[in-house]
Structure 1
Amino acid sequence: MSKVQMVVRRFAGQTSGENQRCSENGSFPQNENGRNITEAAHRKDDMERLKAELIRRVQTQLNDAVERAVSDSITSLNTHSHTNMLTHTDNKTSSGDRHKLDQGKVFVARCSLLDELFEISHIRTIYHMFIAALFLFFMSTLAVDYIDQGRLVLDLGLFYYAFGQLHVVICCWTLMFSYTLLGPYHVLRVWAGLYHNGHHRTCVCVITAIILCAAQMSMLGIFPVYVVLHYQLPPASRFIIILEQIRFVMKSYSFIRESTAAALKNTPQKGERLWFPALSSYLYFLFCPTLIYREVYPRNPNIRWRFVGMNFLKVLASLFYLYFILERLCIPVFRNKSGLQFSTRTLILTLFHAAFPGMLMLMLGFYAFLHCWLNAFAEMLRFADRMFYKDWWNSTSFANYYRTWNIVVHDWLYYYAYRDFLWLSGYKLRSVATLSVFAVSALVHEYAFTMGFGFFYPVMFCTFAGIGVVFNFAMNDKRKSPVWNIIMWTCLFIGQGVHVCLYCLEWYAQIHCPRTGAGFWDLVTPRSWTCSYQ
């Protein structure tokens, strides 16, 4: 608390100094009432300013102290538990490496950052500005429809098209969910029983691995892709199936990984029952907003159903926000631009036009999914750890932005991709491990966009695996100046503009200039490069 004491002393010193100066200068003569009032007002303003600074410093110090205390207690608890497990491992392995290998994510009861920030009136006002912009979009769309078509009914044709064939989506999701719940669980349970019997353990492990790989590839690999391509689903329906496919793959992998390691450690003695996770804990994990499996999570005592309803309502409002952005800012522009020959001039003009809508889409995606959607499910399941993101908007480096933008996915990539690669390489190839994580993320993003839009245009892969890697190493954690935060936001605006611009141009080019063949180069060559129509 030394900084707080310094502020208090400075406050006291400045106050006494002000009184001394006033006394020396004769600021309180009885016959100068106007001057006395003016100087008293100035003195009052100084006192209020110093008071506000003192309160701010005290709050900062208290917050830092609380965070350090919580962090120290978690670290102490974590270290104690890991020490007990490490005593049974190989003595030839160094203690540092064993700690790194066994340490996993610790779940703690905490609120989402935006929920805390919205308690501040100034931040809540910014939130209200976005709501006002939504009403402005709504009134603008109604006014345009009334002037052009003479009606006051909102045309939701884009919604009906994008979410078409929902019955196919529901059936596909049900089958994927049923397999993800029952398939890996029962296969691993049978494996655990056979393995601990002690007969042909190697053969049992190999056969189990082959069965799991084949089942995963069939039900969570080929099946959803077949449904998307066979039924020619519209974009939103495609994205639902593909994103759920990716989520089920990540969830099932975490369960397989964590339960296998736990089953190997918990060897039953004679007469003891074989330990294996309960199906109910796995079912809970499939719906709770995390990709790291644990048998037990911190839970809240009750459910705030009003909070759940408000978050789902905000998700719906975000969908309407996205609809208005597409209808008012994107579709009219790119529908006209798509008829032009692809050129540098066309690309630059559309890129800067798409930067602002693209950034709005990024913010909407973050708020609707990472805050509202995940918080709604966390509340219904009483899941207490709500740290789905950190203050990525304050990042001065892309390295920090990638770590704080999506904590849910980042945890999975860190524990099951980055850290496992480090362990396999003997904790030597950290840069290679980072590049491998970027490669996996870029491939998954590109797969999702290719299947969702129905055409191959590796914009997402190039930005992640190319520009993203460069920015990660160039704009690293050593950058602390606020100028780098401005640079990061500028790069985000430009990057989102590139995504919206190129994907929209290619979408309309695919409509007006469909493929003429099924050859490899015809499938991978963007149609917007050669398409021109009048």
Structure 2
Amino acid sequence: MKDATAPGDVSPATGAPATKSGGDLLAEAQAMIERQNAEVKDLRLRNEKLSRTLHDVIVSGSDLMLHQIDSLRKTVLSTLDAFEAQVHATRAPTLMKNAATSSPGKPTSGDEARDSHKEFEARESVLGCQDSSALVRVAVIAIVSVVAVDVFREADLRGLHRLVEMYIWGFQDLSIALSVVTLLLFTQLWVVPLFTLRRTGYLSRATHLAAYVALQAVVWAQAGYAISTYRLRPPCACMVMCEVARHSMKMHAFTVETGRFAREAPGTERYKRLRVSLLDDPLGLLRQYVYFSFAPTLVYRNVYPRTARTHWGRVLAYAAYFCAGITLTGYIFCQTLPQEPGWRSWSALLHSIMSSMIPGLALFCMAFFGVLHTWMNAFAEILQFADREFYQRWWTARSYASYYRRWNKVVGDWIHAYLYSDFRGVCGYSKLSAMLLSFLISAAVHEYLVAMTLGFVYPVMFILFAGFGVFFMFLNNAYKRNSDGWNWFLWSTLFFGNGVLLTLYSAEFLARKDSVVDQYRIDTSSWVPYSWQIFARHQAGQVP
């Protein structure tokens, strides 16, 4: 038996390579595996090196990109700052030019500010909720009970007689006042034909503006003429002046809101459609404005949120509340008005103010409840006007700014929309300047209404409103205003301020009676108030 052929030997019979043994094959396989492992390891090392290289490239690229983005951001911000400064320098004339040429689809900044501030939605008054209305009923019953006990306490009912006499004296010209109010209502409706003539091309822009200003002047002149000619007593004069102020603000709101359509360029498709619609249905806009004339809002919209139906039981309840408020107001005037036209000393003046603080605040609260709650909600219920947020919780305000915003939202929304926003958006004034101008105009109008109602100029309300009121606003801003102490401060100033108003205005009203003027030989040509002339005579010992 021969030995196996050694590796690499050739078989002598066939000449083919000799067969390898198992150990040789295993060694070759192990060598091949080692080579593959070495290649895999080398490939892994190269992959890791490539990954590290890519990571470094990505990180460096991201840092560079972030740096470039930051540089671009700084460049854009600096450019915007420079552009804003340039726009601020030429803001007023530029915006006024845009307001004259822009279309309704592209409102100016003034339009945007005007449209965005007031959103109508269905909501109830704060005192209309169940808990608050229950408190109101308790308060009304308690007050009426106290008044009834005091009125009927005397056997001869002298208190009731004084109340009836005061009503007869105050409302003896009621028929004249109602005639003037009706005339004002029909006069202010002319604002709709003026817009229709302007929109249909029969009036130019300048002619329409002149006619609108003339219409405003006619409305105010009618009220002033009626009060001065017929010498209306304060209750009737107050009714007329409130109506003329209401119609004037509604006319301005309608003119401003519809003025955006009047700026549409003639010849455009939208202009043609609007002109055709006005010619086809000229009474459509009039119907909308008539509803707006009676609606409890001063901001004009074509459509308002509406309720499903009118609850006449609520209307009767509001009417009863209003009559009770009128009765209580007359009672307070009868019981608390001073009987002397002046004061003998400074201590007497201070005592009169302190004595008038509670009656003055009671009149203030009755004016709020009677007008902003009962009167407004009654008309809202009759007209199915759903948005009844005529006021907010002003009694919890911790600053005068918050109090002014919450106290009377009906007038406040109008001031914000057509005074403050126009001062900011159209005139380009700063927030502070726009706010101060709005307060100044509002205080001047309030003082004018009081002067026409009482028949004399005595700017006490103007000083308290535009003077101390604005000062207290800045005082709240200078110090912490979210503490309860500021609410105490607000109520303290309301007490004292209403006492001052009741004392000074009532004394001046009594001092202007003909008998008092003759008795104290008052100089009617002097600018000094009559009551202060009497006070000076008391101080000098010259009282007859």
Q: Same fold (TM over 0.5)?
A: yes
Query: Equivalent residue of 2:200, what SS?
Result: helix
Give the residue type in structure 1 aligned to 2:165: G
1:527 aligned residue: 530
Shift of 1:525: 2.3
Distance 1:186 1:131, change over 3 A: same
Aligned positions of 1:302-341 closer than 5 A? 302-328=309-335, 330-331=336-337, 334-335=338-339, 337-338=340-341, 340-341=343-344
Post-superposition CA distance 1:191-230 (Å, at most 9, x none): 11117xxxxxxx8111121122122212x12121011001
Does 2:147 correspond to 1:137? yes
Shift of 1:126: 6.3
Does 2:306 correspond to 1:289? no
1:259 aligned residue: 258
Distance 1:429 1:321, change over 3 A: same
Between the aligned partners of 1:351 and 1:370, the Cα distance in structure 2 is 27
Aligned positions of 1:8-407 closer than 5 A? 88-89=105-106, 99-100=112-113, 102-116=115-129, 119-120=130-131, 124-125=134-135, 127-144=137-154, 146=155, 155-181=163-189, 183-194=190-201, 204-218=204-218, 220-265=219-264, 268=269, 272=273, 274=275, 275-276=277-278, 278-328=285-335, 330-331=336-337, 334-335=338-339, 337-338=340-341, 340-341=343-344, 343-407=345-409
Between the aligned partners of 2:192 and 2:244, the Cα distance in structure 1 is 17
Query: Equivalent residue of 1:278, what SS?
Result: helix
Structure 1 unaligned blocks of 5 or more: 1-84, 196-202
Deviates more, 1:475-484 or 1:158-167: 475-484
Query: Equivalent residue of 2:167, what SS?
Result: helix
Shift of 1:447: 0.5
Between the aligned partners of 1:382 and 1:446, the Cα distance in structure 2 is 33
Q: Once superposed, what is the RMSD of the aligned Cα atoms?
A: 2.7
Aligned positions of 1:480-499 closer than 5 A? 480-499=482-501
Between the aligned partners of 2:185 and 2:516, the Cα distance in structure 1 is 38
Shift of 1:347: 1.3
Distance 1:224 1:103, change over 3 A: same
Between the aligned partners of 2:528 and 2:452, the Cα distance in structure 1 is 16
Between the aligned partners of 2:233 and 2:528, the Cα distance in structure 1 is 22
| TM-score normalised over the length of structure 2 | 0.73
Between the aligned partners of 1:419 and 1:271, the Cα distance in structure 2 is 30
Shift of 1:273: 5.2
Shift of 1:338: 2.8
Shift of 1:521: 7.5
Between the aligned partners of 1:103 and 1:496, the Cα distance in structure 2 is 35
Question: Given that residues 86 and 98 in structure 1 are in contact (C-alpha distance below 8 angstroms), is that contact kept between their aligned partners in structure 2?
Answer: no
Query: Equivalent residue of 1:170, what SS?
Result: helix
Question: Given that residues 122 and 387 in structure 2 are in contact (C-alpha distance below 8 angstroms), is that contact kept between their aligned partners in structure 1?
Answer: yes
Distance 1:186 1:136, change over 3 A: same
Question: Given that residues 184 and 252 in structure 1 are in contact (C-alpha distance below 8 angstroms), is that contact kept between their aligned partners in structure 2?
Answer: yes
Between the aligned partners of 1:321 and 1:270, the Cα distance in structure 2 is 55
Give the residue type in structure 2 aligned to 1:239: C
Give the residue type in structure 2 aligned to 1:176: L
Post-superposition CA distance 1:16-45 (Å, at most 9, x none): xxxxxxxxxxxxxxxxxxxxxxxxxxxxxx
Shift of 1:127: 4.4
Give the residue type in structure 1 aligned to 2:223: P
Shift of 1:131: 2.2
Between the aligned partners of 1:235 and 1:440, the Cα distance in structure 2 is 23
Shift of 1:238: 0.4
Between the aligned partners of 1:300 and 1:206, the Cα distance in structure 2 is 40
Higher RCO (C-alpha 8 Å, min separation 6): 2
| TM-score normalised over the length of structure 1 | 0.74
Question: Given that residues 342 and 531 in structure 2 are in contact (C-alpha distance below 8 angstroms), is that contact kept between their aligned partners in structure 1?
Answer: no
Post-superposition CA distance 1:233-269 (Å, at most 9, x none): 1110000111101111001110111112134359545
Distance 1:133 1:87, change over 3 A: closer
Question: Given that residues 163 and 334 in structure 2 are in contact (C-alpha distance below 8 angstroms), is that contact kept between their aligned partners in structure 1?
Answer: no
Shift of 1:507: 1.3
Between the aligned partners of 1:223 and 1:456, the Cα distance in structure 2 is 19
Distance 1:340 1:482, change over 3 A: closer
Structure 2 unaligned blocks of 5 or more: 1-101, 279-283
Query: Equivalent residue of 2:263, what SS?
Result: helix
Query: Equivalent residue of 1:290, what SS?
Result: coil
Question: Given that residues 397 and 403 in structure 2 are in contact (C-alpha distance below 8 angstroms), is that contact kept between their aligned partners in structure 1?
Answer: yes
Between the aligned partners of 2:110 and 2:448, the Cα distance in structure 1 is 35
Does 2:472 correspond to 1:461? no
Distance 1:324 1:434, change over 3 A: same
Question: Given that residues 103 and 261 in structure 2 are in contact (C-alpha distance below 8 angstroms), is that contact kept between their aligned partners in structure 1?
Answer: no
Deviates more, 1:166-175 or 1:126-135: 126-135
Between the aligned partners of 2:249 and 2:135, the Cα distance in structure 1 is 38
Distance 1:379 1:509, change over 3 A: same
Give the residue type in structure 2 aligned to 1:508: L
Give the residue type in structure 2 aligned to 1:89: K
Give the residue type in structure 1 aligned to 2:181: W
Give the residue type in structure 1 aligned to 2:391: Y
**How many aligned residue pairs are there?**
424
Between the aligned partners of 2:271 and 2:530, the Cα distance in structure 1 is 67
Shift of 1:99: 4.6
1:30 aligned residue: none
Distance 1:288 1:148, change over 3 A: closer
Shift of 1:124: 2.6
Deviates more, 1:398-407 or 1:276-285: 276-285
Between the aligned partners of 1:504 and 1:127, the Cα distance in structure 2 is 31
- Structure of higher CA gyration radius: 2
Between the aligned partners of 1:273 and 1:87, the Cα distance in structure 2 is 12
Shift of 1:455: 1.3
Distance 1:368 1:440, change over 3 A: same
Shift of 1:462: 0.6
Distance 1:113 1:385, change over 3 A: same
Between the aligned partners of 1:86 and 1:263, the Cα distance in structure 2 is 9
Does 2:524 correspond to 1:513? no
Question: Given that residues 223 and 240 in structure 2 are in contact (C-alpha distance below 8 angstroms), is that contact kept between their aligned partners in structure 1?
Answer: yes
Query: Equivalent residue of 2:194, what SS?
Result: helix
